[in-house]
C-alpha cells in the first residue's frame, strides 16, 4: 500500500506526497514551501512532480521544486505546464522509477481543456475534476465533456482511493443536502465531515464507492436527482447529460 500524505497549501489545496522510502513524488504542487519543508524535515528527496492541469494553484511551486531537486515534471500534453519534461495523454503510462507504481494516464477534460488524471490499481489522483461530493467548475471545457470524464472515473473499481486537490467536502455536501434534503446519507456525511474539519483533519481521500453514494454529479440518472432538477427548472430533463449540466449550473449559483 502506498504511503500518501496531504500537504496543505494556499487556501484549500492539497499537494499529495507519494512516498517510497526516502523518495517522494509530489502531485500538483501549487506552492513549493510545504513540499520543501516536508522533504527537509524528513530528510527526503523529490523524485518527480505530477501535474494534472495548468491552473496556478497546481503549478505555482513547480519551477522552484524542479530546479532545486532536479526532478522531472510530468504533465498534460495539451496544456502549457512550466518545466514539463514528459507530456502525457490518454493511454500513456507514467514511469517514475522502480520504487513507484506505474500510473496510467486518463484524459478527463471539462474543468480545463487538457486535464488528466493519474491512476494505478487502488489509487486515483484527479486534480480538480472529481471532488468528494462534487466536481470541478467549467473553465475551459463543456458540461458534456465533464459529464463524460466523471463517467469514466465512476467506472473505476469502487475500492479505488480518490485524491482530489481541494478540501471542498463540506461545501459540496451542503449543496447536495439542499438538492436532496430528505436523503439521510447526505446529512450523516455532512455531520461527519464537519466534525473532521473541526479537528483540522482532511476529509480526503474518499473512494469511488463512497462518491457513487454521496456525489450527485455521479448520479444524474438517479430518479430523485432528476426530479429535483426538474422541480427547480420547471422543465423535463430528457437525458442524464442534461440533468448534469443543470446541476453544475445550480451549484455555481449556490
Active site residue 111: yes
Instruction: Choose the catalytic residue: 28, 107, 115, 166.
Output: 166
Alpha helices in 29-168 (DSSP H): 33-41, 56-59, 62-69, 143-154
Active site residue 55: yes
Instruction: Choose the catalytic residue: 54, 58, 107, 115.
Output: 58
**Contact (Cβ atoms closer than 8 angstroms) between residue 126 and residue 134:** no
Instruction: Choose the catalytic residue: 54, 57, 107, 115.
Output: 57
User: How would you class 206 by CB atoms within 10 Å of its CB: exposed for 0-12, middle for 13-18, buried for 19 or more?
Assistant: buried
Alpha helices in 95-203 (DSSP H): 143-154, 169-179, 184-198
Active site residue 166: yes
Instruction: Choose the catalytic residue: 28, 54, 55, 107.
Output: 55
Query: Can you read off the three cell numbers belonging to residue 49?
Result: 512532480
Query: Can you read off the three cell numbers belonging to residue 139?
Result: 473553465
Instruction: Choose the catalytic residue: 128, 178, 222, 252.
Output: 128
Hey, CA dihedral for 128, 114, 73, 207, is it positive or negative? positive
Active site residue 57: yes
Query: Can you read off the three cell numbers belonging to residue 75?
Result: 504533465
Active site residue 85: no
Active site residue 107: no
Instruction: Choose the catalytic residue: 28, 107, 111, 115.
Output: 111
Q: Give the three-state DSSP class for 104.
A: strand
Question: How does DSSP classify residue 141?
Answer: S
Active site residue 37: no
Instruction: Choose the catalytic residue: 53, 54, 107, 115.
Output: 53
CA distances from 146 to 91, 100, 112, 172 (A): 18, 29, 9, 17
The CA-to-CA distance between both ends of the chain, in Å, stands at 38
Q: Which residues are known catalytic residues?
A: 53, 55, 57-58, 111, 128, 166
Amino acid at each position: 500500500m502506498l504511503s500518501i500524505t496531504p500537504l496543505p497549501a494556499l487556501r484549500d489545496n492539497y499537494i499529495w506526497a507519494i512516498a517510497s522510502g526516502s523518495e517522494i513524488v509530489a502531485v500538483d504542487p501549487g506552492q513549493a514551501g510545504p513540499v520543501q519543508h516536508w522533504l527537509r524535515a524528513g530528510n527526503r528527496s523529490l523524485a518527480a512532480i505530477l501535474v494534472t492541469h495548468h491552473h496556478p494553484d497546481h503549478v505555482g511551486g513547480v519551477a522552484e521544486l524542479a530546479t532545486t531537486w532536479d526532478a522531472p515534471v510530468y504533465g498534460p500534453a495539451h496544456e502549457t505546464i512550466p518545466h514539463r519534461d514528459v507530456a502525457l495523454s490518454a493511454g500513456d503510462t507514467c514511469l517514475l522509477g522502480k520504487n513507484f507504481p506505474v500510473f496510467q494516464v486518463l484524459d478527463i477534460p471539462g474543468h480545463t481543456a487538457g486535464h488528466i488524471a493519474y491512476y494505478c490499481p487502488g489509487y486515483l489522483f484527479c486534480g480538480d475534476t472529481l471532488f468528494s461530493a462534487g466536481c470541478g467548475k467549467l473553465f475551459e471545457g463543456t458540461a458534456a465533456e465533464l459529464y463524460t470524464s466523471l463517467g469514466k472515473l465512476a467506472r473505476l473499481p469502487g475500492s479505488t482511493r480518490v485524491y482530489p486537490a481541494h478540501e471542498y467536502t463540506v461545501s459540496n455536501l451542503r449543496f447536495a443536502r439542499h438538492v436532496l434534503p430528505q436523503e439521510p446519507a447526505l446529512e450523516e456525511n455532512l455531520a461527519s465531515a464537519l466534525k473532521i474539519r473541526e479537528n483540522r483533519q482532511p476529509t480526503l481521500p474518499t473512494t469511488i464507492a463512497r462518491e457513487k453514494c454521496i456525489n450527485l454529479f455521479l448520479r444524474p440518472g438517479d430518479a430523485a436527482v432528476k426530479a429535483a432538477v426538474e422541480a427547480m427548472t420547471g422543465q423535463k430533463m430528457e437525458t442524464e447529460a442534461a440533468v448534469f449540466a443543470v446541476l453544475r449550473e445550480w451549484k455555481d449559483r449556490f
